[in-house]
Amino acid sequence: MSVPTELGYTAKHEWVVVKDGIATVGITAFAAESLGDIVYVELPEAGTEVTAGQTCGEVESTKSVSDVYSPVSGEVVEVNGALEDAPETINTAPFEDGWLFRARLSEEPTGLLSAEEYTKLTEGEE
């Protein structure tokens, strides 16, 4: 399973990349594969404040419902509206078109794992 090196990761299987103070957030390929076919996504609305480590949405699959935890603190400025009609995009392109939301950071993210650290974490969960 490919784990992009330019992203930061959480132990709860979210990824984040920051550009110009805006963080793009998604769930990892490992999480998407573990969940199975994703059929519904509940995301925070634009304008909502999210807090690092707190739940901010849900992903529902044919197997289960899982909470999404924000890896960052800030204001949601955009949600991936395409997921409303095509939530399976998270399964097919979790690091590209399957991103969940973007937030304007209120503080720099801390405690993120590198790709190498995240890979080691997931090796123990397979």
In a domain, 122, yes or no: no
Total count of domains within the chain? 1
In a domain, 77, yes or no: yes
Name the DSSP letter for residue 7: S
Q: Tell me the per-residue pLDDT of 21-79, one tens digit each, with 9 for 90 and over.
A: 999 999 999 999 999 999 999 999 999 999 999 999 999 999 999 999 999 999 999 99
**pTM score > 0.75 for this model?**
yes
Q: What is the CATH number of the domain that holds 21?
A: 2.40.50.100
* Res 1: pLDDT: 63
Angstrom distance (rounded) from CA 94 to CA 15:
9
HEC string of 41-95 equals EECCCCCCEECCCCEEEEEEECCCEEEEECCCCEEEEEECCHHHHCCCHHHHCCC
**Residue type present at position 115:** A
